[in-house]
Copies of this chain bind each other. A is one copy, B any other.
Amino acid sequence: MKWDDVGQLNCSVARTLAVIGDRWTMLIIRNAFIGTRRFADFQEQLGLTKHLLSDRLKRLVDVGIFKKVPYQQGRYEYRFTDMGRALYPVLLSMTAWGDAWLDEGKGAPLLYIHKDCGKKMIPTMVCSECGDAVTARDVMIQPGPGLYSDANTTQHSS
C-alpha cells in the first residue's frame, strides 16, 4: 500500500492521518490554536520555507480546516472552520501525552487552565455516555455503518 492510498481506507484514523498526518501541518494547527492567523506569522514562528507553508495552508483550506478571510486588499488570514476547531482534542491529547512522557523530568512546558472552573487541568478522555475515563482495555469495537461503504455504493446509487 502506498501512503496516498491510506486515506481511502474505511478507517477514521487513516483518513485523519491523510489530512493532518503531515508533521508541519499539525504544528501549523497548534499555532492557529494559540492565535496565529497570518502567513508571515506562521512562517516566522515555525521557520519553514514559504513554499512548504504555502502548500500546507492551501491543503488545510482545501480540506476545510481553515477558511481564508480577507483582512486588507489582497491579503488573507487563515481562520479555523468548525471542522478545524474540532481538532482541539487531537492537539490536547498529544499535549497531555507529551507532558506525561516526554518532559525530561522538568515538568510541562505549558499549563492548561480551564477557564470555567479556574483549575489547572489534565485533558482527560472519557465516555460520552457515562463520563468515566476510558483506556484501551475499556473499549470494544464493532462494525459501524461506514465500514463496508464501498460495497454499499451500488445499493445506494440508482
| A→B interface (CB under 8 Å) | 1, 3, 6, 10-17, 19-24, 26-27, 30, 33-34, 46-48, 64, 83, 85-104, 106-117, 119-132, 134-136, 138-147, 149, 152
Chain B nearest CB from A24 CB (Å) reads 8
Tell me if A89 and B97 are in contact (CB < 8 A): yes
Tell me if B146 and A109 are in contact (CB < 8 A): yes
Considering only CB atoms, which chain B residue lies closest to A131 in the complex? B131
Tell me if B47 and A135 are in contact (CB < 8 A): no
Tell me if B135 and A129 are in contact (CB < 8 A): no
Tell me if B33 and A146 are in contact (CB < 8 A): no
Chain B nearest CB from A14 CB (Å) reads 7
A1, A47, A93, A104: most-surrounded residue (chain B CB, <10 A)? A93
Tell me if A115 and B140 are in contact (CB < 8 A): yes
CA distance A14 to B138 in the complex (A): 29
CA distance A104 to B9 in the complex (A): 12
